[in-house]
Copies of this chain bind each other. A is one copy, B any other.
Amino acid sequence: MLNTDDYQYSLPIRVRDYETDSQGIVNNANYLHYLEITRHDFCEQAGTSFRAMQEHGLDPVVRKIEIEYLSSLTMGDTMISCLRMRRAGARFIFTQDIYHAVTHTPVVRATVTIVCLENGQLSRGDRLADAFAAYL
């Protein structure tokens, strides 16, 4: 169940009706959008932004996603999207779990691996690590 102490950041997100499909539940691809929104909001809390990074020639790209679908969200639901990060060399590993906001039951569990391009080349990630120093 949800324990916010396990995470460095959490964001409530409401399901938008158009994100549900003919089964009446949120389509699997939309969860990658929720995860991305959460990472980008987290960046801003950390004092940077995806856009600012791009403008400085720093391009974080998704290298790998593992996502388990445990339960469903439907129209009108609100989720709590939680995140913690760690560095593994040139890779940054985001543990991203989504819970139902009311029942606190897990909805998805994901691990997202980000690497950082600098001017088009794979970087060692030192500049990204600096930006997130408070969280690493």
Interface residues of A (CB under 8 A from B): 16-18, 20-24, 27-30, 32-33, 36-37, 40, 49-51, 54, 59, 61-69, 74-76
Contacts and interface: CB of A to CB of B under 8 A. Distances in A.
B21 A65 contact: no
A9 B51 CA distance: 31
A18 to B, nearest CB: 5
Contacts of A76: 49, 51
Given A17-B21, A17-B40, A29-B36, A69 B64 contact: yes
B68 A63 contact: yes
Given A21-B20, A22-B24, A32-B32, A66 B69 contact: no
Q: How many copies of this chain are found per oligomer?
A: 4
Given A65-B66, A65-B67, 8 more contacts: A17-B40, A21-B22, A22-B74, A23-B54, A28-B36, A63-B68, A64-B69, A65-B65
A66 B33 CA distance: 16
Contacts of A33: 16, 18, 29
Nearest to A67: B65
Of A24, A29, A63, most buried by chain B (CB within 10 Å of CB) is A29
A50 B17 contact: yes
